[in-house]
Amino acid sequence: MGTILVFGGTGQLGQCLQHVAQERRLTNLVFLPEAQANILNVATLTAEFARHQPAYVINCAAYTAVDKAEDEVDLARRVNCDGVENLARLCASHGSTLIHISTDFVFAGTGNQPLLETDEAAPISIYGLTKLEGEQAIAVHTSQYFILRTSWLYSEYANNFVKTMLKLGRERDELKVIWDQAGTPTYAIDLAGCILTIIETRNQEFGIYHYSNEGLTSWYDFAKAIFELSNTPVRVLPILTVEYPTKAARPAYSVMDKTKAKTRLQVTIPHWRDSLKECLSRL
């Protein structure tokens, strides 16, 4: 199978990959933290590729501060596009397969039907735009790639919506949560499992894929489920997006169709509530 290099290895998804790799007894993953292998540092990247000669490269590194990106456009673009291009170029020169994580934010979110990989990408935020530019850079520089667009990522690791809700639920009696944005939560452990299945099955159905858990919900209903399943007594009130203004616009509807992933990647995708229960039991 060869060496698997993981960039952004200490982040949420990187930690989930470590967890799933241990469960599957995979010992050939090398996790590189940003301090050791910043994807903007071509010299360092070149040295790591030469040292490890990876068969696969998993890129979990990204600029993900959605609102700050509106002010830090250059930094967001460097990380989400230029850094990704660096990896794509090196993967092409070393014959490595690149597995890259993208986002539902590449879509405008103005429709009401589950989004296909072939649907037009029309981001409405700098974050979404720079992630799309990263996707495009990959396609220009290598043909051996899997781009996995995901949404509403959470787990027992790092900072995320589930852990924030649990913290706030312990501190407050009442919370207001947006109800008019629809999408699907994704348990990062499930996404990590999908990534490792691609590698273990030596899949060569390269291209763009959508991966989130099954079903759809709103942030409000997601929060309600978190408190219900964790037996946290807190009153949750639904509010409109306009009542909680943010610097960056969010897609109103970003539910993704996973048919392609299920058929070509040979993965079974759990419903979001089932995965939420699993995560809460681990927390």
Q: Which residues carry out catalysis?
A: 127
Q: What is the separation of C-alpha 85 from the centre of its chain, rounded to a whole number of angstroms?
A: 18
244: left (phi over 0), alpha (psi -120 to 50) or beta: beta
> 57: which strand partners?
5, 98
> 149: which strand partners?
102, 210
Instruction: For CA atoms 254, 260, 263, 265, give the dihedral sign.
Output: negative
- Whether the Cβ atoms of residue 215 and residue 273 lie closer than 8 Å to each other: yes
Rounded Cα gap, residues 147 and 99, in angstroms? 6
53 phi/psi in degrees, rounded to 5: 45, 60
- Whether the Cβ atoms of residue 12 and residue 191 lie closer than 8 Å to each other: no
Helices (H), 66-160: 73-77, 83-94, 126-141
Specify the residue for token string 């610097």: 247
Specify the residue for token string 């890129």: 59
> 148: which strand partners?
101, 209
The letter for the amino acid at 57 is: V
Strand ranges, E, within 127-274: 145-150, 153-154, 174-178, 182-183, 186-187, 207-210, 217-218, 235-239
- Whether the Cβ atoms of residue 14 and residue 8 lie closer than 8 Å to each other: yes
